[in-house]
Structure formats: C-alpha cells, structure tokens
Amino acid sequence: MSTSSYDKPDFWALKAKKEGYPARSVYKLQEIDEKFHLIKAGMRIIDIGAAPGSWSQWLLKRLAGTGFLSAVDLQPLTMNSPHSNFFFVRGDLYDPAVRSQLIAKGPYNLVASDAAPGTTGNRVVDQGGSEAIVDAVISYAEESLAPGGSFVAKLFQGGAERELIDRLKTRFSTARSFKPKACRSNSFEIYLVASGFKG
C-alpha cells in the first residue's frame, strides 16, 4: 500500500509536535494573525471546529489569561484546558441548542474556524460540505460578533469563494482570501479573512 504525502510528517507537523501542539494547523492561524493582526489580549473569541485543539491552545496562550474563548467540535479536544476563561462544547455546530450556548457567551471580537467536513475523496462533494460549514460560521458571526469584530474560516476552494467573499463584504469593511505557507502545497484549502464587522 502506498503512503500518502498526508501521512508523512512535514516541517510543520514536526514543529507542532516539538512545541506541544496537537496539529500543524496552529501555524496557519499564527501566520494569519501576523498578517492581519486579528487577535489582541482581552478579546472574546469563538473557535468553531476546534478539535484536536491547536487553535484553542494557541489562542489561550495569546490571550494570556485575559478575555474569553469558547470552542465547539464533535470530537473531544486533546489539549489540557484548565483555563477559567475557556468554555468548550462537544457537539454539532449546526445544533440549535449548541449554537444557543455558544452565542450566549458573546458578543465576540473574533469568530474563527478551521472546521472541515469529513472528506470523501470526491472534490465536488467535499467542496460542498466545506461551503456549508463556512456558510454556518458566517451565520454565527452575523449573530454574535461585536461591531468591529473579525472573522477567519477555512474553505475548500471550488466555485463558491467569490460568492462567500462578496457576502462577507456586505457585513465587514474588508474581506479577502489568503493561503498560509503552512498549508500543504497540494492542498486546495484557503482561508477567508474579514475585519471591521458592521453590526
């Protein structure tokens, strides 16, 4: 059986292991923050699709005991979470009861999502699942962001990124796509980044 390049640890995966993060995705968020300056101490943030926990772990480190972080995923987190400013719900982001719990912890200054659908190998199907998640995350942002807030979400590239960016531009001052260096070269994922929520 041949080994997929996704099974081989690369520079970022090895770096994550060395630095104590559950997954290499942490460096995508770090690069996004370095470029767009989305995260500041004292913020209230929601991490949608948080497992295994790299983004939440890094966000809590950045908040350094200030602000508040909510997170949700169908899977448990592998990170330790003895933080008084951290709230995790294990559940479905589409579940109205889960949504209500999370939105009640707002308003937020940043809605962040690295969520992805379970992949099937059919690119069209996988893109559709990714687009549905991003659509739901935008809906969370529209309901729970404070004015001036920001948004970042992973999207599998397909035919919908222009439409989703246009939707974001109606609610935010700026919106664009960005591909961090930590994304695998053969990946078709990008991130949608928006700031200046208009309320």
pLDDT confidence of residue 135: 96
pLDDT confidence of residue 25: 79
Confidence band for 5, pLDDT divided at 50, 70 and 90: very low
pLDDT confidence of residue 21: 64
pLDDT for residue 181 is more than 90: no
pLDDT confidence of residue 129: 94
Task: Mark out the alpha helices in 6-74 (DSSP H runs).
Answer: 11-19, 26-36, 54-63
Contact 23, 54 (CB under 8 A): yes
Confidence band for 6, pLDDT divided at 50, 70 and 90: very low
Reduced to 3 states (helix: H, G, I; strand: E, B; else coil), residue 80 is coil
- Averaged pLDDT for residues 6-12: 58
Annotated catalytic residue, options 154, 169, 181, 198? 154
* pLDDT tens profile 108-165: 999 999 999 988 888 889 999 999 999 999 999 999 999 999 999 999 988 789 999 9
Cα 112 to its chain centre, rounded Å, is 4
Contact 10, 24 (CB under 8 A): yes
Reduced to 3 states (helix: H, G, I; strand: E, B; else coil), residue 141 is helix
Nearest to 43 by CA among 150, 178, 176, 190: 150
Confidence band for 24, pLDDT divided at 50, 70 and 90: low
Name the most confidently modeled range: 35-39, 120-124, 158-162, 184-188.
35-39
Structure tokens at 3: 């080994």
- Averaged pLDDT for residues 69-98: 92
Mean pLDDT, the chain, rounded, equals 89
Nearest to 44 by CA among 20, 26, 62: 62
Element (DSSP H or E) covering residue 143: helix 123-144
Structure tokens at 113: 């999502």
Map out the domains of the chain with their CATH numbers. Answer: 26-197 (3.40.50.150)
Confidence band for 13, pLDDT divided at 50, 70 and 90: low
Structure tokens at 140: 């969370």
* Vertex 99: Cα angle to 140 and 150 (nearest 5): 25
pLDDT confidence of residue 193: 98
Identity of residue 145: L
Catalytic, 17? Answer no
Contact 48, 72 (CB under 8 A): yes
